[in-house]
Amino acid sequence: MKILRRYAGWLHTRWPAGTVEPLPEIAENGLTSIPGVAIVGDLTGIPLLKFAADSGARAVATLFDGASFEPAGDVLEPDGDGGAVLDLVIIGAGVAGIAAALEARRRRLTFRVYESTETFSTLVN
């Protein structure tokens, strides 16, 4: 039982609030009730690398397979506000985010990955 308590402490109770944080509600495929938004990786509640990598790649496939979607292509086009039109924005450069980026590149999507610390920081910490 001691190992289970240590695992639970590592997994949940070391958060700043000291309590279990509620997880967002997501479908089996990672999609949320907000169209075009998927949650993958550690936020799914399963902090395992192989699941993170799989969920990141599957999210891109789910979002773009079968949809009436035309990729922006290799060239970013102005959106009228001086910005660029992206097919995909990935928030977080952990295992799931990088897996999503690799799948997006394979599909020739235009995308950006945003990370607040450093790439793969979840592996380092």
Show me where the domains of the chain are located: 23-124
Cβ atoms 44, 26 nearer than 8 A = yes
What are the φ and ψ backbone dihedral angles of 107, each rounded to 5 degrees? -90, 0
Query: Rounded to the nearest 5 degrees, what angle is found at the Cα of 88, between the Cα atoms of 54 and 106?
Result: 55
Predicted confidence at residue 113, as pLDDT, reads 94
pTM: 0.71
* Cα of 21 vs its chain's centroid, Å: 18
Q: What is the pLDDT along the chain (125 residues), one digit of tens a residue?
A: 677 777 766 665 565 666 666 767 888 888 888 888 899 988 887 778 888 999 999 999 998 886 656 666 655 555 555 567 888 999 999 999 999 999 999 999 999 999 988 888 777 66
Q: Measuring CA to CA, which residue among 118, 122, 93 is closest to residue 102?
A: 93
Q: How far apart are CA 27 and CA 34, in angstroms?
A: 11
Q: How far apart are CA 9 and CA 7, in angstroms?
A: 5
